[in-house]
Structure 1
Amino acid sequence: MRNIANLLFKAKILKDIPRSGYHFLGVGKESVAEHSFGTVFIAYVMSQLEPDVDALRLISMCLVHDLPEAKTGDLNYVQKKYVTVHEKKAVADITRSLPFGSDLADLIHEFNEGRSLEAKLARDADQLAFILELKALADIGYNPPNKWLPFALKRLETKIGKDLAQSIMETAWDAWWFENHVDRPDKNN
């Protein structure tokens, strides 16, 4: 159980590790765990829309896809040009002494390879979580996200990912706030 407790602490530290790309964007912030939550939620939605997908595998893959960053940190595009990340070593270190370690390592490996339907959807969910963040920032008046959005949109592989992205791009980030809104004067005044 000690090894499992250590795994839980590794997952917990992701709440404290910032996604480093926002420094270069100049606006916004998000932890790795916050990003993972968004990715997992999008994967859940995708699993409801895609009848042939193994929902548990897709959602699990999204849940653990950034777990190695507990050991490596989150490196952005610029940093990856100069720093070599040994993700396979980090995954091996994280999973080595767990009774389900090979299953965990397999999920991360499958995500990184991106060949299965679940992996393609998981990778799209990962991008869609980022697209949501960028779109919300752009909608409130920040310009830099508009430079980054085309690159994130171009990375999408699946039809469902592209369809969701199109809908995200056509929807104001706060449109849901005003659904069925009726402005009524206060009767007590």
Structure 2
Amino acid sequence: MTRIADLLFEVRMLKDLNRTGYAFLGAGEESIAEHCFSTAFLCFVMARLEPGVDAEKLISMALVHDAAEARTGDLNYVHKQYNTVDEPHAVSDLIHGLEWAKNISELIEEFNQGETREAQLANDADQLSLMLELKKLKDLGATSPESWLPFVVDRLRTDTGKQLAREILGTRWDEWWTRGYSE
């Protein structure tokens, strides 16, 4: 059980580590854990929109896709041009001694390969999570998200991801509470 506690504390570190791309954006901030939660919730929604996908696998993939960043940190697109991360090694150390945890490395590998339907949806959810943050910043008056949003849209691969992107881009971030859905 000590090894499980170690794993839980390691993954908990994602709450304390911020995503680094926001420094280049000049606005906003988000922890890796916040990003993973948003991505996982998007996958929960996508699983309901995509009959036949393995919902548990899709959501699990989103939960663990950035787990190695507890060891490697978050490298944004600029950092990745100059640094190489040994993610398989970091994941191996993350799950060391936990036979059942090999599923984590399998999920991360499937996510990175992006070949299965679940991996494609999870990758789109990863991008849509960023899009939600960028759209909020744009709605609040930041100008830099405008130049980033087209790149995020271009990375979407599934029809479901593209449809959600259109809705996100066409909706103000704070409209949900003014719609008055209660009866």
- The TM tier, using the shorter chain, reads over 0.9
The one-letter amino acid paired with 2:114 is G
Cα distance in structure 2, aligned partners of 1:129 and 1:65: 13
The one-letter amino acid paired with 1:152 is V
User: Per-residue deviation at 1:18?
Assistant: 0.4
Q: Confirm or deny that 1:144 pairs with 2:141.
A: no
Cα distance in structure 2, aligned partners of 1:46 and 1:142: 29
Cα distance in structure 2, aligned partners of 1:33 and 1:172: 24
User: Match for residue 98 of structure 1?
Assistant: 98
User: Per-residue deviation at 1:113?
Assistant: 0.4
User: Match for residue 172 of structure 1?
Assistant: 172
Q: Confirm or deny that 1:77 pairs with 2:77.
A: yes
What SS is found at the alignment partner of 2:102?
Answer: helix
User: Per-residue deviation at 1:101?
Assistant: 2.4
The one-letter amino acid paired with 1:127 is Q
User: Match for residue 44 of structure 1?
Assistant: 44
Cα distance in structure 2, aligned partners of 1:103 and 1:162: 29
User: Per-residue deviation at 1:96?
Assistant: 2.3
Cα distance in structure 1, aligned partners of 2:78 and 2:11: 25
User: Per-residue deviation at 1:169?
Assistant: 0.5
Structure with max Cα Rg: 1
User: Match for residue 61 of structure 1?
Assistant: 61
The one-letter amino acid paired with 2:33 is A
User: Per-residue deviation at 1:12?
Assistant: 0.4
What SS is found at the alignment partner of 1:100?
Answer: helix
User: Match for residue 35 of structure 2?
Assistant: 35
Cα distance in structure 2, aligned partners of 1:95 and 1:8: 11
User: Match for residue 184 of structure 1?
Assistant: none
User: Match for residue 11 of structure 2?
Assistant: 11
Q: TM-score, normalised by structure 2?
A: 0.97
What SS is found at the alignment partner of 1:61?
Answer: helix
Q: Which 5+ residue runs of structure 2 have no aligned equivalent? A: none
Indicate the larger mover: 152-161 or 99-108. 99-108
Count of residues paired in the alignment: 181
Indicate the larger mover: 37-46 or 91-100. 91-100
